[in-house]
Structure 1
């Protein structure tokens, strides 16, 4: 009871001071501001897409398809003008580029010059898809670019359907032509049937004639065998003749060449004989002169020998006189020492001795010259005798050379006549060889032709037999052709009737263009963007409201001086509980009444909002009670992790793996899940499960706060002055 009194005193004290009451009142609307502003801003962005400026540039030049003008680009522009999907701005390429640079347009759609041309290539060997160029200005706004990409895909589908309609119309026109063609083909098949009947009759006649042809070719094949053997024998004989003619021609050619060489040799021998005769005559004159010279030389040698003999005798006497003078001077020197000492006498003595020695040498040399002159004289006598014999031999040789020259001349004349006849024989042999070669070649061709004739006759015989055999098959085939052509005519007429039943209608063309329609059956439908994001923004607003509440409401003390720790715990808890209730009610009222949020159960929605706000409040109360500003920092950190891991925006599977582990440990995970169930899916069981989990978070937070007050039993008096200082 005293705890309620303490709470009443604290509340009364707060209301008495505007600086305290007004911040508390403002804090109560924090969730409203967060949830209301965010949800109102993004409640239905797709409903205002017609205010999003998009540039459209049409440069398509059109095309002609099956003699029809095709303006696919202009047709697309006309369709866009009728729609209000975006704020379509039909501009030039330059204006579009300038607008993209100035951030006037969120995206540009360009229809190329060959857009219609490529749309007509579907039936070509190498079809080319028509290209629609989409240029999003993602730097200006990324989401607008993504939304535009989806819109372009829808435009592509519409254009594809229009192009398909054009092709379908052409195809159905062709079907009508095919139907007419099948009818004409049926008439032609009837005519073929008539012709096949006549062909069958002709095949019968052909079979009879082919039988006769087979018999004749068999007889021809039998008669050609002896002719083939005789031709082979003839060719063999001609081959032998050809070999002999070639040998004869070669021999005559060689003999003619040898005769020519022999004639040339005879002429050269005749010329050589004449030169030999002239040389012998010249040599004979020289030999006579040599003989006369040798005779004169022999006489001179005799005179030389006599003169040398006299000279030797004189030299002997000089030598003896010189020796005597030298001996006399020597004796004089011995007898007269004075003279011996005289230099003049000594020089005279030496000179006389030298003269005596030189005269002795002259004498000896003279003796040798005498002996040599005698030998020379004997040799000259022999040489003179030989030269006389040489003169006689040259006379005989001159006579033989004269006879040889005469014989060479006669031989050369005879060889010239022989070579002339031999050349004629060689020319005849060459012609004979050439003729035999031609004859041999002709014989080879004759044999080849005969073989080919034999093979051809055999082939003809074999072919005629096969023709005779196949004539029966042809007869059967013509019969089948007759039956088949009749059946073909029937089937073609039936096909013409069936294809003629295909009529081109607008419904059929549209069916071909869009054979599949997508029917969307939404499971747990979410009507707009704001409804889908309500669980996320409501959770965010309530958490932020709880966090800011700790800035204006004391978490530990009381204005009552004797309040116990239990009294303070109850007073603080009741204060935060009431704030949670008011914040959740205000936020719920805003989204339900002002924004028009539709939920599956309003009472359950209100209850879930209160439980969510209460769990957030108790957790943050515990953190701030224990840690004050560091506790608020931890609460902000918790908020950051919850914003990324609660799956309120993107699915949990799309966030990084390391963040996924925080998902089950944070309360906003369960608040978002519970809100989705009570707002959209109507799975109330899921909502109650999340309420239970959030209550666990609330109990844990409340228990942590209670533990603090039980540990810190000292009474703390706080002056609720409204001055809030947040130490960062």
Structure 2
């Protein structure tokens, strides 16, 4: 009871001190700040992924595949617009690069222009994989880049499935065509089998007929000799007939040729006189037209002279006006240059005034608080901004004036060239007018001569026509005689050539008949072999027709459906079965941050609350031990209680068992508190440094964030030695897995830590002699 009395007096002294009361109240919320704020910040980051800005650039131009337009890039954009995985920004390549440079976007996803084209090369000899360019802005936020990498892999999987569906659909279409082709091939093979049967029958008949042919060729060979002698006599008579008919035909042809030359001369003369008469009449008509045209040309050239003079005068005035305009634009450019220099100085001066007023206001707080000075600073800033905009506008005007002056100088050069050309055109038009006048006079004289010549040509035409008619009648009779002589000669030649060939053919006939006799025998032997081969063809073609029919039936059984195409595109799907499901990041990190918050809260308590002394003068060692232990234990329980209330009801943490969650939190908090109390009680200020070192090792080895297997091997040694290892495991069991056996084992380990260090604290109080009350009082560390 006395120990409890000492504790109550020490507690009352704490509450009487306002500073101590505020400090202890603040300490109670240290675990809440760690566990509550950290868990709130990371509670469910994936639930707000739709607020993470990501640039999407679609440069894909599409491609044709098997007669279908493949637009994989547009399909990807459409799919992304349906999802809310990120805050998608569909921009151009330039906008994406600018956004990454100024940290507007955390990452960029670029679909190249050949994305669809490369996707169609799967069946090519050198297929090219389609690529999606992923550009994370890791310098801005590394974790965002890692999250985006996972999302891009999911996007890749979906796009690959879409492309594979297109390939699969095409393949099944081809299988359908193959099925039809196999059916047709089966029908054709059936026809082949039928034909082979007929061929087999024909081969048998061929063999029989070739035996008859062999016998007939022997008899024909015996009758060829008398035929050969008769053909020889006929050939000699045909040679004599050929010589006589050739001589007669030659004479008639010479006479016909001479008459044709005479007739052609007469005909040409008559035709020439006719053409001469027609040409002279056309020439007279053309000369009359020429006379009328030259008269019109004289009038037109006079008008053209008047127009060219006006062009010369106008081009001169245009050149003079453009010269004046060019001088004016040059002066305008010079004036704007001077104005630009003035506006630049004005902008610089206005900025200097604004910067000076702002510096003056910062250096004198009272002056800065004056409303008039604030208005003056704002006005000077506005003037500086306006002067800068004026300077930019002057620069734009100066650039425009320079461009205007350059353009007008080019126009002036063109106007001078136009004036020079119009002068040359005026001189040429004058020469054209003089030539037109001379042409009109000559055409008049030409028309008179043409009329006289046309009258003589008409008389010449009439005489030539009569002479040509007589020559034509004589030539016709002579041609008939010559034609008959030629035919006679040709007939003699043909007869002589025919008998020669007939004689040669008779010889060849004898030789050929001998060859036919030998060949017919060989054919008879080959026909037997053909019969055997056709028997095999008949058997094989029947089997081929049967197999092709079976293949066509099996191929037709493959029916293309959307489900089958999807199965080929994605034959494997992942069915996720979560063991001990954790709904969000906050739940997963709760064991780590609760342990961290309770440990840090216990450490902060040792800074505010006295570790060894009591407000009760003369209190025994045991009473002081009990008072300090009860104080720290009370603070520990209150810290744990506040942390549990915040995470359960403030953040909505779901646990497997609420009472066990309370109990394990109290055990963990007391174990941490008694451990830290012992270390700081024994070592004082260096003890707090030791506790911080222990905290650092626990943060890296407790497996609260990354798995234990991922840390360096030398750090793994500390994992089973430190208490936060067991607090993290126990919290995981009571929050997520429901393995309460493991939780009680971890609670026992933490309890052992707490009891051992509490015994060390007890040892310190019972073995150290604090001296008299004066010394005791002087060592109290709780002051103002």
Q: TM-score when scaled to structure 1?
A: 0.62
1:42, distance to aligned residue in structure 2 (A): 0.1
Task: Tell me, yes or no, if structure 1 residue 482 matches structure 2 residue 569.
Answer: no
Q: Deviations over 1:227-254 (max 9, x none)?
A: xxxxxxxxxxxxxxxxxxxxxxxxxxxx
Secondary structure of 2:190's aligned partner: helix
Task: Tell me, yes or no, if structure 1 residue 631 matches structure 2 residue 687.
Answer: yes
Q: Counterpart in 2 of 1:608? A: 664
Q: Counterpart in 1 of 2:43? A: 43
1:17, distance to aligned residue in structure 2 (A): 1.0
Contact 1:20-1:720 within 8 A present in 2 as well: no
Secondary structure of 1:597's aligned partner: coil
Secondary structure of 2:589's aligned partner: helix
1:711, distance to aligned residue in structure 2 (A): 1.6
Q: Deviations over 1:177-214 (max 9, x none)?
A: 11211111111111221233345457778999999xxx
The structure-2 alpha-carbon separation of the partners of 1:538 and 1:478, relative to structure 1 and needing over 3 Å to count, comes to: farther
The structure-2 alpha-carbon separation of the partners of 1:5 and 1:123, relative to structure 1 and needing over 3 Å to count, comes to: same
Q: Counterpart in 2 of 1:646? A: 702
Task: Tell me, yes or no, if structure 1 residue 138 matches structure 2 residue 109.
Answer: no
The within-5 A match list for 1:225-240 is none
The structure-2 alpha-carbon separation of the partners of 1:721 and 1:21, relative to structure 1 and needing over 3 Å to count, comes to: farther
Q: Counterpart in 2 of 1:85? A: 85
Contact 2:610-2:782 within 8 A present in 1 as well: no
Q: Deviations over 1:563-583 (max 9, x none)?
A: 111111111111111111111
1:116, distance to aligned residue in structure 2 (A): 0.2
The structure-2 alpha-carbon separation of the partners of 1:190 and 1:571, relative to structure 1 and needing over 3 Å to count, comes to: same
The within-5 A match list for 1:3-42 is 3-42=3-42
What do you get for the CA RMSD once the two structures are aligned? 2.7
1:171, distance to aligned residue in structure 2 (A): 1.5
CA distance in 1, matches of 2:555, 2:2: 98
Task: Tell me, yes or no, if structure 1 residue 684 matches structure 2 residue 684.
Answer: no
Contact 1:564-1:713 within 8 A present in 2 as well: no
Q: Deviations over 1:526-578 (max 9, x none)?
A: 11011000000000000000000001111100001111111111111111111
Q: Counterpart in 1 of 2:150? A: 150
Q: Counterpart in 2 of 1:711? A: 767
Contact 1:559-1:719 within 8 A present in 2 as well: no
CA distance in 2, matches of 1:84, 1:8: 59
Q: Counterpart in 1 of 2:62? A: 62
Q: Which portions of structure 1, spanning 4 or more consecutive aligned residues, are displaced by more than 6 angstroms?
A: 202-211, 467-472, 718-721
Q: Counterpart in 1 of 2:625? A: 569
Secondary structure of 1:717's aligned partner: helix
- Return the match for 1:701 from 757, 761, 767: 757
The structure-2 alpha-carbon separation of the partners of 1:191 and 1:550, relative to structure 1 and needing over 3 Å to count, comes to: same
Contact 1:30-1:541 within 8 A present in 2 as well: yes
1:484, distance to aligned residue in structure 2 (A): 3.0
1:721, distance to aligned residue in structure 2 (A): 8.2
Q: Counterpart in 2 of 1:498? A: 554
CA distance in 1, matches of 2:662, 2:527: 99
The structure-2 alpha-carbon separation of the partners of 1:178 and 1:576, relative to structure 1 and needing over 3 Å to count, comes to: same
Secondary structure of 2:583's aligned partner: coil
- Return the match for 2:654 from 575, 578, 598: 598
CA distance in 2, matches of 1:571, 1:651: 41
Contact 2:197-2:538 within 8 A present in 1 as well: yes
Larger radius of gyration, structure 1 or 2? 1
The structure-2 alpha-carbon separation of the partners of 1:112 and 1:634, relative to structure 1 and needing over 3 Å to count, comes to: same
Q: Counterpart in 1 of 2:715? A: 659
Aligned residues: 473
Contact 1:134-1:152 within 8 A present in 2 as well: yes
The structure-2 alpha-carbon separation of the partners of 1:170 and 1:5, relative to structure 1 and needing over 3 Å to count, comes to: same
1:491, distance to aligned residue in structure 2 (A): 3.0
The within-5 A match list for 1:369-380 is none
CA distance in 2, matches of 1:468, 1:42: 98
The structure-2 alpha-carbon separation of the partners of 1:637 and 1:494, relative to structure 1 and needing over 3 Å to count, comes to: same
Contact 1:19-1:723 within 8 A present in 2 as well: no
Q: Deviations over 1:300-328 (max 9, x none)?
A: xxxxxxxxxxxxxxxxxxxxxxxxxxxxx
Q: Counterpart in 2 of 1:366? A: none
Q: Deviations over 1:404-457 (max 9, x none)?
A: xxxxxxxxxxxxxxxxxxxxxxxxxxxxxxxxxxxxxxxxxxxxxxxxxxxxxx
Contact 2:204-2:527 within 8 A present in 1 as well: no
Contact 1:554-1:718 within 8 A present in 2 as well: no
Q: Counterpart in 2 of 1:428? A: none
Q: Counterpart in 2 of 1:172? A: 172
Q: Which runs of 5+ in 1 are unaligned?
A: 212-463
CA distance in 2, matches of 1:708, 1:579: 21
1:602, distance to aligned residue in structure 2 (A): 0.8
The structure-2 alpha-carbon separation of the partners of 1:476 and 1:139, relative to structure 1 and needing over 3 Å to count, comes to: farther
Q: Which runs of 5+ in 2 are unaligned?
A: 212-521
The within-5 A match list for 1:547-566 is 547-566=603-622
Secondary structure of 2:55's aligned partner: strand
The within-5 A match list for 1:360-371 is none
1:81, distance to aligned residue in structure 2 (A): 1.1
The structure-2 alpha-carbon separation of the partners of 1:51 and 1:180, relative to structure 1 and needing over 3 Å to count, comes to: same
Secondary structure of 1:109's aligned partner: strand
CA distance in 2, matches of 1:112, 1:503: 35
Task: Tell me, yes or no, if structure 1 residue 521 matches structure 2 residue 581.
Answer: no
CA distance in 1, matches of 2:638, 2:610: 18
Q: Deviations over 1:245-303 (max 9, x none)?
A: xxxxxxxxxxxxxxxxxxxxxxxxxxxxxxxxxxxxxxxxxxxxxxxxxxxxxxxxxxx
The structure-2 alpha-carbon separation of the partners of 1:208 and 1:682, relative to structure 1 and needing over 3 Å to count, comes to: farther
Secondary structure of 2:777's aligned partner: coil
CA distance in 1, matches of 2:540, 2:44: 71
Q: Deviations over 1:119-156 (max 9, x none)?
A: 11112122221101111111111110000000001000
The structure-2 alpha-carbon separation of the partners of 1:665 and 1:678, relative to structure 1 and needing over 3 Å to count, comes to: same
Q: Deviations over 1:646-676 (max 9, x none)?
A: 0000011100111111111100001001111
